[in-house]
Amino acid sequence: MDYVIIGGGIYGAATAFELSKRGAEVLLLEAKEVASGASGGPGRRGVRANGRDLRELPFMRLSYERWPSLHQEIGAPTGYERCGHLLLLERPQDVAAAAAHAWAQAKQGIPTRLVQGQELREMEPQLAEEVLAALYCPLDGVADHTATTRGMAQAAAKLGAQIRQQCAVTRFEVQHGRIQALVTSEDERIAVGKRVLLLSNAHTALALADQFQCTLPVWTMLPQVMLTAPLDPMPIRHLIGHASRVLAIKPHPDGRVMISGGWRGTWNAELERGETVPEQVLGNLAQAQAVYPCLNGIAVDEANAARLETLTIDHIPIIDKIPGVENALFATGWSGHGWAIAPTVSRLLAEWALEDAQPALLHPFSLTRFG
Ligand SMILES: Cc1cc2nc3c(=O)[nH]c(=O)nc-3n(C[C@H](O)[C@H](O)[C@H](O)COP(=O)(O)OP(=O)(O)OC[C@H]3O[C@@H](n4cnc5c(N)ncnc54)[C@H](O)[C@@H]3O)c2cc1C
Q: pLDDT band at 213, cuts 50/70/90?
A: very high
Look at residue 326 in the predicted model and tell me its pLDDT: 96
Which of 62, 61, 34, 38 lies closest to 50, judged by CA?
61
Mean pLDDT of the chain: 98
How far is the CA of 315 from the CAs of 50, 197, 239, 335, 361, in angstroms?
15, 22, 21, 5, 17
Look at residue 204 in the predicted model and tell me its pLDDT: 98
Q: Which residue among 339, 345, 346, 349 has the greatest number of ligand 1 atoms within 8 angstroms of its CB, and so is best to mutate?
A: 339
Regarding the beta carbon of 45 and ligand 1, being less than 6 Å apart is answered yes
Look at residue 280 in the predicted model and tell me its pLDDT: 98
Regarding the beta carbon of 307 and ligand 1, being less than 6 Å apart is answered yes
Look at residue 187 in the predicted model and tell me its pLDDT: 96
- According to DSSP, the residues that pair with 191 across neighbouring strands are 181
284: left (phi over 0), alpha (psi -120 to 50) or beta: alpha
* Centre of ligand 1 from the C-alpha of residue 115, in Å: 33
Look at residue 93 in the predicted model and tell me its pLDDT: 98
Average pLDDT estimate for 20-45: 98
Could you write out the DSSP letters of every residue in 197-214? Answer: EE--GGGHHHHHHHHH--
pTM above 0.85, yes or no: yes
Residues 298-337: tens digit of each pLDDT: 999 999 999 999 999 999 999 999 999 999 999 999 999 9
> Whose C-alpha lies nearest to ligand 1, atom 12?
337
> Whose C-alpha lies nearest to ligand 1, atom 19?
338
Domains of the chain: 3-44+146-217+313-370 (3.50.50.60), 85-138+223-306 (3.30.9.10)
Look at residue 56 in the predicted model and tell me its pLDDT: 98
Regarding the beta carbon of 311 and ligand 1, being less than 6 Å apart is answered no
Residues 117-148: tens digit of each pLDDT: 999 999 999 999 999 999 999 999 999 999 99
Regarding the beta carbon of 155 and ligand 1, being less than 6 Å apart is answered no
Residue 355 and residue 365: Cα distance in Å, rounded? 18
Regarding the beta carbon of 44 and ligand 1, being less than 6 Å apart is answered no
Residues of the chain with pLDDT > 90, as a percent, come to 100
Look at residue 84 in the predicted model and tell me its pLDDT: 98
Q: Which atom of ligand 1 is nearest to the CA of 223?
A: 1
Regarding the beta carbon of 36 and ligand 1, being less than 6 Å apart is answered yes
Helix (H, G, I), strand (E, B) or coil at 256: coil
Helix (H, G, I), strand (E, B) or coil at 341: coil
Q: pLDDT band at 250, cuts 50/70/90?
A: very high
Look at residue 81 in the predicted model and tell me its pLDDT: 98
Residues of the chain with pLDDT > 70, as a percent, come to 100
